[in-house]
Structure 1
Amino acid sequence: MSVSVKDVAARAGVSVGTVSNVLNTPAKVAAETAERVHRAIAELGFVRNDAARQLRAGTSRSIGFVVLDVGNPFFTDLVRAAEERAAESGLAVLIANSGEQQAREAAGIDLFEEQRVRGVLVSPVGEISERLERLRSRGTPAVLVDRVASTPGFSSVSVDDVAGGRLAARHLLEGGRRRLLFVGGPLDLEQVRDRLQGARDAVAAVTGATLEALPIGALTVRHGVDAGREILAMPEPPDAVFAANDLVALGVLQAVGLLGGLRVPDDLAIVGYDDIEFAASAGVPITSVRQPRDRMGATAVDLLLAEIDGATERSRIVLQPELVVRASSAGR
C-alpha cells in the first residue's frame, strides 16, 4: 500500500500543508519541523507523486531533447553533456530519437509538449521553424542543436561543418591524394550537405584534384560497409574517402579490410567526422574532424535555460571543428 502525504503529516505531527512546504518550499519551514517531516518520510518510505505535482503546477522539472540518431555515439556524448549541465539546475533530460525521420521527430515534440517539459532541444531532420513557433506560442521554448537557426527567432548552437569539410579535404590533398570520394547521406541533412560543400571548396582550389559524391541512405556502419563494397567494385577506385561521420568511415574500413583489394592508408586514405571513441580504437585508427560535443551540449542547455528565465535575445553560436590526424590518412 502506498504512503500518502497525509500519512507523513500524521507521523510527523504536522499539517499536510507543512509537509508540502517541506517538499516544495523548505525555506518556509523551521529546521526542527523540517527534520521531523524528513524523519517521517524515511520511516514510512514515502515517495512523492511528481506526476501529480506537475499536473497541478502545469510544468515539470524536465527538458526534452530530440536527437537524430541515439545509436550514434556522437549524440550519446552530446546528450550526456546536456544532462550534466541540466542537472546543475535540478532538471532532467528526456530523450526522443527521431531516427532521421520527420514523423518521429514530430511525435517526439508532441509528446514533450504533452508532458509539459520546461523547454525542448532539437537536432532537426529538416526545416522545423514553423513547428517550433507553434510550440513556443503555447509556452514551451526551443533551441536548435547541431544546426544553425534559419530564422532570427530561435537560438542555436552548431559546428561550422563547411569548415570541417574543408579541413578534411585539405588534409587529404596535402597528403598527395587527388581522387577524393565523399560518402554520406541522406543529402537533405544540412550537416551532410555542408560537409560536402566544404570538401568541394577545398578540392576546387587544387589543380588536377577531383571529388565525387556517393550518397547513402543513413549515417551508419552498415551503410558504410555497403559503400565500401561499391568502392572496391569501381574500375578506378578513389585514393581517399571523406566519410560524413565516423560510423560510415568505420564501415568503409571494415569492408575494405575484410574483402581486400585496397590497403589503408597506402591505397586508400580515410577521414571521418565527429571523432567518436571508436575512431581512435579502430584496427587502423581513423583520422577524424572533431566536434566539441561537450561544449555544444552544455551551451544548448544554457541557451534554453536563459529563454526559460525570460531572456528575449536570441543567439546563434557556431563552434569550430578540429582535425585529429591518425594512421588512416598517412600521406604518400
Structure 2
Amino acid sequence: MSASVKDVAEAAGVSVGTVSNVLNRPDRVAAATVARVQDAITRLGFVRNDAARQLRAGRSNSIGLVVLDARNPFFADIAQGAEERAAEHGLTILVANSDEKVDRERAHIDLFEQHRVHGVLITPVAESLPRLQRLRERGMPTVLVDRESRDGGFPSVAVDDVSGGRIAAEHLCEIGRRRIAFVGGPLSLRQVSDRFDGAQRAVAGRDDATVEFIGTDALTVDAGREAGRRILERSREARPDAVFAANDLLALGLLQALVMTGDVRVPEDMALIGYDDIDFASSAVIPLSSVRQPAALIGSTAVDLLMRIAGNPQTPNEHVVFQPELIVRASTGGPVGP
C-alpha cells in the first residue's frame, strides 16, 4: 500500500496541514520543516494524488482531444500544435481516437467529463452533436477542430475544404485532365463531402470535364489500395486520367496499387493528388501533390479558443477558417523534390 499524507506527517512529526503546505505552499513553512517533510516523503516513497486534488478543485489540468483517426499524421500534427499551446498554460493534452465510430466517440466524451478535464477539443464523427450540447450545458468548454459548426453553436477551427477541393480539381484540369475520380468516404464526414463538393464546383463550368465519386468506407492506406484495385479492374479507356483522394493516406494507398502493377504510369497515364500534405507525401516513391492544411496551427488555435471560453463562459463563439494551399509535386507533373 502506498504511503498517505497522514503517514508522511507522522514520520516527519508534523501535522497533516503542514505536509499540505509543504506540497502546495512551501514558502509558508520554515526551511527546516520543509527539509524534514521532504525527507519523510523520500523515505516512504510518497506520491501525491494530483488527480484527486484537481477533482476537488473542480477541474483537472488536462484538455481532452478526440480525433477521427490517430493513425493519420495530420491529426498527430494537430495534437502537437495543441500540446505546445496547452503547455504554455500549464496544461496537458489527452488524445483519444474515435476511429470514426460514434459509440467510441461518446465513450471518450463520457470519460473526459468524468475526469473533469479543462475542456474538450473534438473532430466529431457525425453532423448531430447532442452529446456535445449536453457537455456545454454542464459548463465544459468545447471547441470543434477541423470542422465548422453549421449553426454556429460551437466555437470552431477549420479549413475551407470546399475551396481545397476546388483548387485540387482546378489544378488537375489545368494540366489537361478531364476524367477525374474523387476517391473518399464516407460522405457523412463533412470533410469528405465538402472536398467532393469543391471538386464538383471546379468542373461545373467545363463541358469537357467530369468528376465521378468512388466511395470508400474509411480514409486509410488500405482503403486507398482497394480503390486502386477497383480502378485497375476497368479497361484502359474506362479509367480516369486523374484521381483526387480525400486525404493523403488514401492517395498513398492508391499510388501503391497503381505503381505495383506496372500497368499505370503516374502522372503520365493518371495524375494523383491528395489532401493534408502530411510528411509522407513529399517522401513517397513518386512525391505526392497535395492540398496543405496548417495542422499544427489548427491545434494551437483551438486551444486559444478553449482558453478564452474557460476564462469567460460568456465569450461569443469564434469561428476560425484557414485557407488551404496547393502543393504541386511529381504525381501531377510537378518537381520531383519537396
In 1: Cα distance, 2:308 partner to 2:136 partner: 14
C-alpha distance after superposition, 1:41-93 (max 9, x if no partner): 44543211123223433321111111111111111111122122112212222
Structure 1 residues not aligned, in runs of 5+: none
Aligned to 2:114: 114
Structure 2 residues not aligned, in runs of 5+: none
Instruction: Give the 5 Å matches for 1:11-50.
Output: 12=12, 14-26=14-26, 28-29=28-29, 34=34, 37-38=37-38, 40-42=40-42, 44-50=44-50
Aligned in 2, Cα 1:159/1:232: closer, same or farther, shift over 3 Å? Answer: same
Instruction: Give the TM-score, by structure 2 length.
Output: 0.92
Corresponding residue to 1:295 among 270, 294, 297: 297
Instruction: Give the 5 Å matches for 1:1-332.
Output: 1-10=1-10, 12=12, 14-26=14-26, 28-29=28-29, 34=34, 37-38=37-38, 40-42=40-42, 44-235=44-235, 236-311=238-313, 312-330=315-333
Aligned in 2, Cα 1:64/1:138: closer, same or farther, shift over 3 Å? Answer: same
Shift of 1:153: 3.0
Q: Secondary structure at the match of 1:313?
A: coil
C-alpha distance after superposition, 1:147-194 (max 9, x if no partner): 001233311000110111111111111111111110000011000011
Root-mean-square deviation (CA, aligned residues, Å) is: 1.9
Aligned in 2, Cα 1:6/1:222: closer, same or farther, shift over 3 Å? Answer: same
Residue pair 2:183, 2:244 contacting (<8 A) in 1 also: yes
Shift of 1:10: 4.4
Q: Secondary structure at the match of 1:110?
A: helix
Residue pair 2:245, 2:272 contacting (<8 A) in 1 also: yes
In 1: Cα distance, 2:35 partner to 2:241 partner: 71
Aligned in 2, Cα 1:178/1:277: closer, same or farther, shift over 3 Å? Answer: same
Residue pair 1:100, 1:125 contacting (<8 A) in 2 also: yes
| Counterpart amino acid of residue 205 in structure 2 | A
| Counterpart amino acid of residue 140 in structure 1 | M
Identical aligned residues as a percent: 62
Instruction: Give the TM-score, by structure 1 length.
Output: 0.93
In 1: Cα distance, 2:246 partner to 2:31 partner: 57
Residue pair 2:127, 2:190 contacting (<8 A) in 1 also: no
Shift of 1:29: 4.9
| Counterpart amino acid of residue 58 in structure 1 | G
